[in-house]
Amino acid sequence: MNRLGLVCLLFVFSLSLSAQELAYGFKVGLNFSTLLADSETDADGMNLENFEYNSGFHVGAAVIYRITDLVGVRGELLFNQRGVKYSYEGPSFQIFMDNLGNQILSQNGNRRYFLETVNSYINIPLTAYYKFGGKVEVYGGVDVSFLVGSSAVGEFTYTGTVPGFPDVDEVFELDFNYFSNDVASKTTINEGTEIVSIANNSTSIDIPRRLGAYYLDYEEKDGSYYNILDFGLVGGLAFYINRGLFVSGTINYGLTDTTNNFYDISRFESNGLEYIPRDDRDTNLSFQASIGFSF
């Protein structure tokens, strides 16, 4: 009986080994992503900030370990774009610096700010899946992402009074590269750069028409605005058109703060010439629509 049991056990084990196999795949598709973040509010509690969905794409490959015909685990390596359309509209302030190095606070101003951000990640999701009837697959797991590119474009309009200078009503272009942009001197502008000049009888405030990521609001730089590492949960549903070809929808829910707290400051109010820090928590939320093939 013991020998018969051992033979049966070896037979079952051999069957399970025959069902286990490695497979490979690839997929490509579109992303729709935003940040889950708390909006700054004015004195009446009205939201000043808005976070909307931005589009991007993803592409990559997968290694699949099929435990049975219905159950398995999958590891993927993706180039994955996430981002957000961010806007601020309402009462604000701005700290300027004149050509003599003096800081000037413009209070009771109005800010209209729009920024479309694209963050590019190398994304590694690890998921387990189960197939229903060989056609419908549900999957879930975790992912880790490494930021490899971070840029944004937009427009900034500021209207307000500047003590000792004419009133300001100017529009600036925003062209941000969060990796390569640095904190430029407020009193030195490269030759040939288009500038906005606000002048009085003794000095002027000269600002580039096109602004980099850290130009107006920061005296120093402490890493990139967006953090390099991001962790999250991932889940979704796939439909197999045939044995290999599939379409899928995936949700990526971030668990970590994507922004560097060093740059979290209030845009609504200041402490004199000092910015008021905020402990914002901004997490990624992304939806993927994919088409792919496994073999």
As a whole number of angstroms, the distance between CA 172 and CA 149 comes to 23
Predicted confidence (pLDDT) per residue in 281-294, tens digit: 999 999 999 999 99
Neighbouring C-beta atoms of residue 220, cutoff 10 Å = 8
Which is nearest to 16 in space by CA: 62, 54, 57, 69?
69
Give SS3 for 137. strand
pLDDT at 21: 86
Instruction: Count Cβ atoms within 10 A of the Cβ of residue 213 and give its class: 0-12 exposed, 13-18 middle, 19 or more buried.
Output: buried
CATH of domain 21-294: 2.40.160.20
The series of mean pLDDT values per 10 residues for the chain, 295 residues long, is 41 44 96 96 96 98 94 97 98 95 95 98 98 93 98 98 96 96 73 89 94 91 95 98 96 97 96 94 98 95
Q: What is the pLDDT of residue 185?
A: 62
pLDDT at residue 186, as a whole number: 63
Q: What is the CA radius of gyration of the chain?
A: 26
Instruction: Output the six-digit token pair for 107.
Output: 């209070």
Q: Delimit the domains of the chain by residue range.
A: 21-294
